[in-house]
Structure 1
Amino acid sequence: MNLKRIVEETDTPAGRVFDSVVVLLIFTSIATFSFETLPNLPPAVISGLELAEVVLVGLFTIEYGLRLALADDRWRFVRSFSGLIDLVAILPFYVSLGIDLRSVRALRLLRLLRILKLARY
Protein backbone atom coordinates (compact mmCIF):
# COMPACT_ATOMS: atom_id res chain seq x y z
CA MET A 1 0.00 0.00 0.00
CA ASN A 2 1.16 3.51 -0.83
CA LEU A 3 2.31 5.41 2.29
CA LYS A 4 1.19 8.72 0.80
CA ARG A 5 -2.33 7.39 0.39
CA ILE A 6 -2.42 6.15 3.99
CA VAL A 7 -1.23 9.48 5.42
CA GLU A 8 -3.18 11.86 3.20
CA GLU A 9 -6.40 10.05 2.37
CA THR A 10 -9.08 8.35 4.44
CA ASP A 11 -10.63 6.25 1.70
CA THR A 12 -8.68 3.16 2.72
CA PRO A 13 -8.88 1.09 5.90
CA ALA A 14 -5.22 1.90 6.63
CA GLY A 15 -5.86 5.62 6.09
CA ARG A 16 -8.79 5.53 8.49
CA VAL A 17 -6.67 3.74 11.10
CA PHE A 18 -3.88 6.31 10.67
CA ASP A 19 -6.33 9.19 11.15
CA SER A 20 -7.95 7.50 14.14
CA VAL A 21 -4.58 7.00 15.81
CA VAL A 22 -3.65 10.66 15.26
CA VAL A 23 -7.00 11.81 16.70
CA LEU A 24 -6.45 9.54 19.73
CA LEU A 25 -2.98 11.05 20.19
CA ILE A 26 -4.45 14.58 20.03
CA PHE A 27 -7.03 13.79 22.71
CA THR A 28 -4.36 12.10 24.85
CA SER A 29 -2.18 15.19 24.51
CA ILE A 30 -5.03 17.48 25.54
CA ALA A 31 -5.77 15.25 28.53
CA THR A 32 -2.14 15.24 29.69
CA PHE A 33 -2.00 19.02 29.33
CA SER A 34 -5.15 19.31 31.44
CA PHE A 35 -3.81 17.00 34.15
CA GLU A 36 -0.60 19.05 34.35
CA THR A 37 -2.65 22.02 35.56
CA LEU A 38 -3.87 20.18 38.66
CA PRO A 39 -2.25 21.37 41.89
CA ASN A 40 -0.18 19.17 44.19
CA LEU A 41 0.50 16.31 41.80
CA PRO A 42 2.81 13.63 43.17
CA PRO A 43 6.28 13.59 41.58
CA ALA A 44 5.59 10.19 39.99
CA VAL A 45 2.53 11.58 38.20
CA ILE A 46 4.46 14.64 37.04
CA SER A 47 7.21 12.37 35.67
CA GLY A 48 4.62 10.24 33.89
CA LEU A 49 3.00 13.30 32.32
CA GLU A 50 6.38 14.62 31.20
CA LEU A 51 7.23 11.25 29.63
CA ALA A 52 3.85 11.18 27.89
CA GLU A 53 4.54 14.66 26.49
CA VAL A 54 7.92 13.56 25.11
CA VAL A 55 6.39 10.48 23.46
CA LEU A 56 3.42 12.42 22.06
CA VAL A 57 5.58 15.21 20.65
CA GLY A 58 7.85 12.59 19.13
CA LEU A 59 4.89 10.97 17.40
CA PHE A 60 3.50 14.34 16.25
CA THR A 61 6.95 15.20 14.90
CA ILE A 62 7.04 11.95 12.94
CA GLU A 63 3.56 12.71 11.58
CA TYR A 64 4.66 16.23 10.56
CA GLY A 65 7.80 14.84 8.94
CA LEU A 66 5.80 12.25 7.02
CA ARG A 67 3.32 14.83 5.76
CA LEU A 68 6.16 17.15 4.77
CA ALA A 69 8.15 14.41 3.04
CA LEU A 70 5.09 13.13 1.16
CA ALA A 71 3.78 16.56 0.11
CA ASP A 72 3.77 17.28 -3.61
CA ASP A 73 4.80 20.87 -2.83
CA ARG A 74 6.63 21.00 0.51
CA TRP A 75 6.73 24.78 0.72
CA ARG A 76 2.97 24.89 0.13
CA PHE A 77 2.44 22.33 2.90
CA VAL A 78 4.58 24.32 5.35
CA ARG A 79 2.51 27.46 4.62
CA SER A 80 -0.86 25.66 4.69
CA PHE A 81 -3.23 26.03 7.64
CA SER A 82 -2.78 22.42 8.74
CA GLY A 83 0.99 22.53 8.20
CA LEU A 84 1.30 25.69 10.31
CA ILE A 85 -0.93 24.28 13.06
CA ASP A 86 1.05 21.04 13.13
CA LEU A 87 4.32 22.97 13.41
CA VAL A 88 3.08 25.42 16.05
CA ALA A 89 1.65 22.50 18.05
CA ILE A 90 5.06 20.83 18.41
CA LEU A 91 7.28 23.92 18.46
CA PRO A 92 6.77 24.84 22.16
CA PHE A 93 8.23 21.50 23.21
CA TYR A 94 11.44 22.05 21.26
CA VAL A 95 11.72 25.68 22.38
CA SER A 96 11.24 24.54 25.99
CA LEU A 97 14.30 22.30 25.77
CA GLY A 98 16.40 25.43 26.19
CA ILE A 99 14.23 27.19 28.77
CA ASP A 100 11.91 26.28 31.63
CA LEU A 101 8.48 25.98 29.98
CA ARG A 102 6.68 26.54 33.26
CA SER A 103 8.11 30.05 33.37
CA VAL A 104 6.90 30.83 29.86
CA ARG A 105 3.15 30.41 30.13
CA ALA A 106 2.44 31.70 26.62
CA LEU A 107 4.52 28.92 25.07
CA ARG A 108 2.77 26.38 27.25
CA LEU A 109 -0.60 27.62 26.08
CA LEU A 110 0.48 27.15 22.46
CA ARG A 111 0.27 23.42 23.14
CA LEU A 112 -3.49 23.88 23.19
CA LEU A 113 -3.29 24.56 19.47
CA ARG A 114 -3.15 20.79 19.11
CA ILE A 115 -6.92 21.00 19.36
CA LEU A 116 -6.85 22.76 15.99
CA LYS A 117 -5.18 19.69 14.51
CA LEU A 118 -8.62 18.11 14.77
CA ALA A 119 -9.82 20.44 12.00
CA ARG A 120 -8.10 18.11 9.52
CA TYR A 121 -10.29 15.23 10.65
Structure 2
Amino acid sequence: MNLFVALIGGLFLTTSLAILVSPGSGRWSLENLITRGMMPVFSIVRIGIGIVFVLAAPSTRLPGFVWALGLLSIFSGIALPILGFDRLKKYTDWWLVKPDTAFRGWSLLGILLGALLLWAGT
Protein backbone atom coordinates (compact mmCIF):
# COMPACT_ATOMS: atom_id res chain seq x y z
CA MET A 1 0.00 0.00 0.00
CA ASN A 2 2.94 2.32 0.50
CA LEU A 3 3.56 2.12 -3.22
CA PHE A 4 0.04 3.47 -3.80
CA VAL A 5 0.73 6.41 -1.46
CA ALA A 6 3.95 7.12 -3.35
CA LEU A 7 2.16 6.85 -6.72
CA ILE A 8 -0.54 9.31 -5.65
CA GLY A 9 2.24 11.61 -4.40
CA GLY A 10 3.94 11.35 -7.77
CA LEU A 11 0.66 12.14 -9.52
CA PHE A 12 0.14 15.23 -7.32
CA LEU A 13 3.71 16.31 -7.96
CA THR A 14 3.51 15.83 -11.73
CA THR A 15 0.13 17.51 -12.08
CA SER A 16 1.18 20.45 -9.92
CA LEU A 17 4.39 20.90 -11.89
CA ALA A 18 2.36 20.97 -15.11
CA ILE A 19 0.09 23.68 -13.67
CA LEU A 20 3.10 25.66 -12.43
CA VAL A 21 4.61 25.64 -15.93
CA SER A 22 1.29 26.10 -17.76
CA PRO A 23 -1.61 27.42 -15.67
CA GLY A 24 -3.81 26.97 -18.74
CA SER A 25 -3.69 23.21 -18.18
CA GLY A 26 -5.34 23.73 -14.78
CA ARG A 27 -7.98 25.96 -16.33
CA TRP A 28 -8.64 23.38 -19.04
CA SER A 29 -9.13 20.69 -16.40
CA LEU A 30 -11.59 22.83 -14.45
CA GLU A 31 -13.56 23.73 -17.57
CA ASN A 32 -13.71 20.26 -19.11
CA LEU A 33 -13.53 17.69 -16.32
CA ILE A 34 -15.99 19.15 -13.83
CA THR A 35 -19.29 17.83 -15.16
CA ARG A 36 -22.42 16.50 -13.53
CA GLY A 37 -21.61 13.00 -14.78
CA MET A 38 -18.11 13.01 -13.28
CA MET A 39 -19.22 13.88 -9.74
CA PRO A 40 -19.89 10.26 -8.67
CA VAL A 41 -16.52 9.24 -10.14
CA PHE A 42 -14.70 11.97 -8.19
CA SER A 43 -16.51 10.95 -5.00
CA ILE A 44 -15.70 7.27 -5.37
CA VAL A 45 -12.07 7.96 -6.23
CA ARG A 46 -11.65 10.29 -3.24
CA ILE A 47 -13.21 7.79 -0.86
CA GLY A 48 -11.08 4.97 -2.29
CA ILE A 49 -7.85 6.95 -2.00
CA GLY A 50 -8.80 7.95 1.52
CA ILE A 51 -9.41 4.36 2.62
CA VAL A 52 -6.07 3.23 1.20
CA PHE A 53 -4.27 6.16 2.87
CA VAL A 54 -5.84 5.37 6.25
CA LEU A 55 -4.92 1.69 5.94
CA ALA A 56 -1.39 2.42 4.68
CA ALA A 57 -0.63 5.22 7.14
CA PRO A 58 0.94 3.13 9.95
CA SER A 59 3.62 1.74 7.62
CA THR A 60 4.59 5.08 6.00
CA ARG A 61 7.29 7.52 7.06
CA LEU A 62 4.67 10.14 8.02
CA PRO A 63 1.79 8.11 9.47
CA GLY A 64 -0.10 11.03 11.01
CA PHE A 65 0.11 13.08 7.85
CA VAL A 66 -0.99 10.24 5.57
CA TRP A 67 -3.78 9.25 7.98
CA ALA A 68 -5.07 12.87 8.15
CA LEU A 69 -5.01 13.18 4.35
CA GLY A 70 -6.87 9.87 4.14
CA LEU A 71 -9.63 11.11 6.44
CA LEU A 72 -9.81 14.41 4.59
CA SER A 73 -10.15 12.53 1.30
CA ILE A 74 -12.90 10.28 2.67
CA PHE A 75 -14.87 13.21 4.09
CA SER A 76 -14.49 15.25 0.91
CA GLY A 77 -15.68 12.28 -1.15
CA ILE A 78 -18.78 12.02 1.05
CA ALA A 79 -19.37 15.78 1.06
CA LEU A 80 -19.10 16.25 -2.70
CA PRO A 81 -22.50 14.79 -3.63
CA ILE A 82 -24.09 16.42 -0.57
CA LEU A 83 -22.91 19.86 -1.69
CA GLY A 84 -24.16 19.21 -5.20
CA PHE A 85 -23.06 20.05 -8.70
CA ASP A 86 -24.35 23.63 -8.70
CA ARG A 87 -22.16 24.62 -5.74
CA LEU A 88 -19.17 22.83 -7.24
CA LYS A 89 -19.75 24.67 -10.53
CA LYS A 90 -19.89 28.04 -8.74
CA TYR A 91 -16.60 27.23 -7.02
CA THR A 92 -14.89 26.21 -10.26
CA ASP A 93 -16.24 29.30 -12.03
CA TRP A 94 -14.75 31.38 -9.20
CA TRP A 95 -11.37 29.74 -9.82
CA LEU A 96 -11.54 30.22 -13.59
CA VAL A 97 -11.41 34.02 -13.27
CA LYS A 98 -8.37 33.97 -10.98
CA PRO A 99 -5.05 35.14 -12.44
CA ASP A 100 -2.29 32.72 -13.43
CA THR A 101 -0.38 33.64 -10.27
CA ALA A 102 -3.18 32.10 -8.16
CA PHE A 103 -2.94 28.82 -10.10
CA ARG A 104 0.84 28.86 -9.78
CA GLY A 105 0.67 29.61 -6.05
CA TRP A 106 -1.66 26.71 -5.36
CA SER A 107 0.45 24.46 -7.56
CA LEU A 108 3.39 25.11 -5.23
CA LEU A 109 1.30 23.70 -2.40
CA GLY A 110 0.49 20.69 -4.59
CA ILE A 111 4.19 20.18 -5.31
CA LEU A 112 4.94 20.19 -1.59
CA LEU A 113 2.06 17.83 -0.85
CA GLY A 114 3.07 15.49 -3.67
CA ALA A 115 6.71 15.45 -2.60
CA LEU A 116 5.75 14.66 1.01
CA LEU A 117 3.47 11.81 -0.08
CA LEU A 118 6.10 10.46 -2.46
CA TRP A 119 8.68 10.48 0.31
CA ALA A 120 6.26 9.08 2.90
CA GLY A 121 5.38 6.14 0.67
CA THR A 122 8.94 5.12 -0.18
TM-score (norm 1): 0.40
TM-score by length of 2: 0.40
Q: Judging by fraction of residues, say which structure has more helix.
A: 2
